[in-house]
């Protein structure tokens, strides 16, 4: 399907979703959310990693589209928030690893998009923040919750209350991004990380993601039980037998995702 606001490209088992509205600094409007939703649902079983980035050389995603939001009612705001939550939850729920390549401004909804990914890497020129309070509102697509879980309550409050934009180095310092790369090396690095993940058992990677995500919201005893179940179920897979046989034979494993 051809999209107007995004691009979805495949490079073997790696897919790249690019928010591509450079004239609007890739701001998220309803049309963009619907296209993203369609693109995520269209991913096939042969896709084993997804990289999310922004088009152009200035922005990852500069935020939600203020021009669309300025006249909406409270009821319409609930619908818009629900749409954004749905798309970012769908991204978070993908059974494959997702990598945010933050190549510029990641503000408001843009940072919330990155937070919906498993791994976040940023270019040296990236700026990140949640400036919604300067507009008289708060983040509406999960930013208050995902940021808190990633960097802690006090750091999240600091970013939310001050609306400060932080640079990539500071984002790494507080644990918001994993690494900072030169702009021309960012996608190369993200592809290399994806390629490293692809060498591993896809069922195991998916189960590890599931256990971490669901376990984070539970008490330790319940989370450990979730891990125990995930560990055990993989022993019914062909991938487990292949992985252990390959280890004993001192050869690379040929995983099939079965």
List residues with catalytic annotation. Answer: 112, 132
CB-based contacts of 86-90 (< 8 A; 24+ apart in sequence): 86/37, 87/33, 87/36, 87/37, 87/40, 88/112, 88/113, 88/115, 88/116, 88/141, 88/142, 89/116, 89/142, 90/37, 90/40, 90/41
- Burial code (b: 16+ CB inside 10 Å, e: under 16) for 163-172 equals eebbbbeebb
| C-beta separation of 149 from 115 below 8 A | no
> 3-state DSSP helix/strand/coil percent for the chain, to nearest 5?
50, 15, 30
């Amino acid at each position: 399907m051809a999209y107007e606001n995004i691009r979805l490209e495949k490079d073997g088992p790696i897919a790249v979703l690019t928010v591509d509205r450079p004239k609007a600094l890739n701001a998220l409007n309803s049309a963009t959310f619907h296209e993203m939703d369609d693109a995520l649902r269209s991913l096939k079983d042969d896709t084993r990693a997804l990289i999310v980035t922004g088009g152009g050389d200035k922005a990852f995603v500069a935020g939600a589209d203020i021009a669309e939001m300025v006249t909406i009612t409270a009821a319409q705001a609930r619908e818009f928030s629900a749409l954004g939550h749905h798309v970012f939850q769908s991204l978070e729920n993908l059974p494959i690893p997702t990598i945010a390549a933050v190549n510029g401004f990641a503000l408001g909804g843009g940072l919330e998009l990155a937070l919906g990914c498993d791994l976040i890497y940023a270019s040296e020129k990236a700026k990140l923040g949640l400036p919604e309070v300067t507009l008289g509102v708060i983040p509406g697509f999960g930013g208050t919750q995902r940021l808190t879980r990633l960097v802690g309550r006090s750091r999240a409050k600091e970013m939310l209350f001050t609306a400060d934009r932080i640079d990539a180095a500071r984002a790494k310092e507080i644990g918001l991004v994993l690494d900072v790369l030169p702009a021309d090396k960012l996608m190369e690095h993200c592809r290399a990380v994806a390629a490293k993940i692809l060498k591993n058992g896809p069922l195991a990677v998916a189960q590890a993601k599931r256990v971490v995500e669901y376990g984070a919201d539970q008490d330790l005893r319940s989370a450990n039980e979730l891990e125990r179940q995930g560990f055990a179920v993989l022993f019914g897979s062909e991938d487990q037998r292949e992985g252990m046989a390959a280890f004993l034979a001192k050869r690379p494993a040929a995983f099939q995702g079965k």
